[in-house]
């Protein structure tokens, strides 16, 4: 067997070889591919979301006016729980199979790579929730304008939930049976998102202007995008030690 | 030149190594030996920057290894106990990903061929045998085009041909001016390669 090594001297590139956008794309693409291959794991949170949302009308009341007032809270709580349910998957497997170590030895900012991983995680677990929410909400007799605001608030809010969750996932990635601990760490951080998301939908339902809470949701998203990966990167270094 | 200066690391109440120093000129190998639990893996992880030592530093050409890494002046290839490969992806996909991440030309086909993995390159890594997985991890190292190789028990699960290939690859790496740190239980036949041995004990 011939060893195929390049012979033009030892590697030594002069600068980090990939641009940040390209780096983001490569990691996103791999994580999406892995996520789709592990479809049974990824679909858990979507199935959970459907289950919770469809159970409420059965247990409470089939009356349209009751359901309509319940809808914003129920859908938002279900989305939050579905996110919590999927978080343990975020970094655990990568820590166990050593791919996280590989990322740590690369000359790129760790937070940026974790952001790519978190966004991939949101695409796989969060987008199905955002897509299904308006369909399920029809069974709650929500009017069209409230449906739109609900979907939009979820679109702004669920990535924030995933990003906040990435902090807890990074902190507990190296711990055995840390599922409940993870929930207790991140759930309090998620409350503002829950309150604003449900409030926006509620306002739209009662015919008022929902833009205030939506703007705040957007601001939280920007804040989470800029800060959560940095915190998660610090936590991951500790977990990988 | 890879060097460690005054490395000290405690694990709980046990001191794994204290004021450990080594100097490794370019084109040489450091073989870390010692009984199980002596801290071979930990020392490798310290050099890789994955574990922070209590005190001391790892340097490359006189300044911090981490700085060289971040500036992209140095490439590091680390192979630990875990493979560093995604079990849901095929060997080819895994290597493609590694090559793209490192911004390297795709030599994946060539390396799959030379590591004897071309007939199972499109199987998911989880379906490979333990030896094939180890070969895939070796292929990742070869692909990385790194200046410094950090290998933890690279012979594990390899058959005779695989070991010979590994030794040949290491010799070629060193011959072209690479540096190697390897933790090994079984003897590695590195031919005329200049080797420094470091014995970690429970002293």
Give the model confidence (pLDDT) of A129-149 as tens digits: 999 999 999 999 999 999 999
Residue A25 near chain B (CB below 8 Å): no
Range of lowest pLDDT (A16-20, A187-191, B72-76, B175-179)? A16-20
Q: Is the dihedral of CA A235, A236, A237, A240 positive or negative?
A: positive
In tens, the pLDDT along A138-189 reads 999 999 999 999 999 999 999 999 999 999 999 999 888 788 899 999 999 9
Question: How many CB atoms sit inside 10 A of residue A212's CB?
Answer: 13
Those residues whose C-beta lies under 8 Å from the C-beta of residue B101, and which sit 6 or more positions away, are: A18, A23, A26, A27, A106
Higher pLDDT, residue A89 or B138: B138
Residue A101 has φ and ψ, to the nearest 5°, of -55, -40
Place of tokens 């409940």: A180
pLDDT for B181 beyond 90? yes
- Which residue from B124, B114, B117, B118 is spatially nearest to B94, judged by alpha carbons? B124
A6/B83 Cβ within 8 A = no
Which residues in chain B touch residue A30, judged by CB atoms under 8 angstroms apart?
86, 89, 93, 97
CB-count burial class (<10 Å; 0-12, 13-18, 19+) for A8: exposed
CB-count burial class (<10 Å; 0-12, 13-18, 19+) for A240: buried
Q: What is the dihedral of CA B114, B119, B122, B124, to 10 degrees?
A: -100
In tens, the pLDDT along A45-79 reads 999 999 999 999 999 888 889 999 999 999 999 99
Residue A16 near chain B (CB below 8 Å): yes
Residue to mutate among B72, B90, B149, B160, with most A CBs inside 10 A, is B72
- Residues B163-179, mean pLDDT to the nearest whole number: 91
| Confidence at B202, pLDDT banded by 50, 70, 90 | low
A104/B50 Cβ within 8 A = yes
Tokens encoding A175: 């711990």
Q: Is the dihedral of CA B168, B174, B179, B183 positive or negative?
A: positive
Largest Cα separation within chain A, whole Å, is: 76
- Residues B16-30, mean pLDDT to the nearest whole number: 89
Residue to mutate among A2, A10, A12, A109, with most B CBs inside 10 A, is A10
B78/A10 Cβ within 8 A = no
* The pLDDT value given to residue A60: 87
Percent of chain A with pLDDT over 70: 93
Angle between helices B130-144 and B160-175 (to 10 degrees): 10
- For B84, which of A6, A30, A99 is closest by C-beta distance? A99
Q: Is the dihedral of CA A144, A146, A148, A154 positive or negative?
A: negative
- Residues B145-161, mean pLDDT to the nearest whole number: 90
| Confidence at B93, pLDDT banded by 50, 70, 90 | very high
* The pLDDT value given to residue A172: 93
* The pLDDT value given to residue A7: 40
- For B83, which of A7, A98, A105 is closest by C-beta distance? A98
* The pLDDT value given to residue A16: 56
Those residues whose C-beta lies under 8 Å from the C-beta of residue A53, and which sit 6 or more positions away, are: A74, A75, A78, A133, A136
Tokens encoding B93: 């996909």
* The pLDDT value given to residue A160: 97
- Residues B53-60, mean pLDDT to the nearest whole number: 90
pTM: 0.90
Q: Contact at 8 Å (CB) between B167 and B190?
A: yes
* The pLDDT value given to residue B201: 77
B52/A15 Cβ within 8 A = no
| Confidence at B192, pLDDT banded by 50, 70, 90 | confident
B49/A105 Cβ within 8 A = yes
- Residues B148-163, mean pLDDT to the nearest whole number: 90
Question: How many CB atoms sit inside 10 A of residue A116's CB?
Answer: 22
Those residues whose C-beta lies under 8 Å from the C-beta of residue A54, and which sit 6 or more positions away, are: A136, A139
Per DSSP, what are the bridge partners of residue A240? none
Query: What is the ipTM metric for this complex?
Result: 0.89
- Residues B155-180, mean pLDDT to the nearest whole number: 90
A26/B100 Cβ within 8 A = yes
Q: Which residue of A has its CA nearest to B171?
A: A3
- For B86, which of A3, A97, A241 is closest by C-beta distance? A97
pLDDT for B172 beyond 80? yes
Tokens encoding A39: 């479809």
């Amino acid at each position: 067997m011939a060893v195929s090594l390049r012979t033009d001297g030892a590697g030594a590139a002069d600068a980090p070889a990939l641009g940040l956008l390209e780096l983001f794309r490569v990691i996103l693409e791999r994580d999406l591919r892995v996520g789709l291959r592990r479809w049974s794991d990824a679909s858990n949170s979507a199935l959970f979301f459907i289950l919770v949302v469809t159970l409420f009308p059965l247990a409470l009341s089939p009356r349209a006016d009751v359901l309509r007032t319940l809808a914003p809270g129920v859908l938002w709580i279900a989305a939050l729980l579905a996110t919590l349910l999927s978080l343990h998957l975020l970094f655990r497997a990568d820590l166990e199979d050593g791919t996280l170590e590989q990322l740590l030895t690369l000359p790129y900012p760790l937070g940026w790579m974790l952001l790519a991983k978190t966004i991939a995680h949101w695409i796989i677990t969060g987008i199905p929730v955002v897509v299904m929410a308006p369909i399920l909400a029809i069974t709650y007799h929500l009017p069209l304008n409230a449906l739109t605001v609900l979907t939009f608030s979820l679109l702004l809010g669920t990535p924030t939930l995933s990003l906040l969750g990435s902090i807890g996932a990074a902190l507990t990635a190296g711990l055995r049976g840390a599922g409940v601990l993870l929930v207790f760490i991140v759930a309090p951080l998620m409350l503002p998102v829950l309150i604003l998301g449900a409030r926006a939908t509620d306002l739209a339902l009662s015919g008022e202007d929902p833009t205030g809470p939506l703007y705040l949701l957007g601001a939280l998203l920007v804040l989470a995008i800029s800060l959560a990966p940095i915190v998660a990167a610090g936590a991951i270094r500790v977990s990988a030690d | 030149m890879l060097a460690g200066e005054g490395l000290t690391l405690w694990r709980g109440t046990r001191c794994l190594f204290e004021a450990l120093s080594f100097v490794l000129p370019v084109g040489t190998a450091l073989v870390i030996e010692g009984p199980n639990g002596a801290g071979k893996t930990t020392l490798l992880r310290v050099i890789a920057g994955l574990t922070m030592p209590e005190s001391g530093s790892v340097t490359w050409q006189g300044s911090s290894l981490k700085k060289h890494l971040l500036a992209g002046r140095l490439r590091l290839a680390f192979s630990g106990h875990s493979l560093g490969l995604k079990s849901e992806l095929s060997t080819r996909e895994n290597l493609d990903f590694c090559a793209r991440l490192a911004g390297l030309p795709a030599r994946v086909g060539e390396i799959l061929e030379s590591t004897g993995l071309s007939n199972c390159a499109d199987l998911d890594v989880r379906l490979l045998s333990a030896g094939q997985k180890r070969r895939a991890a070796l292929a990742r190292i070869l692909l990385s085009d790194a200046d410094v190789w950090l290998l933890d028990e690279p012979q594990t699960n390899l058959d005779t041909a695989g070991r010979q290939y590994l030794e040949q690859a290491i010799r070629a790496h060193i011959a072209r001016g690479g540096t190697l740190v390897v933790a090994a239980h079984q003897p590695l036949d590195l031919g005329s390669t200049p080797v420094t041995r470091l014995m970690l004990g429970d002293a």
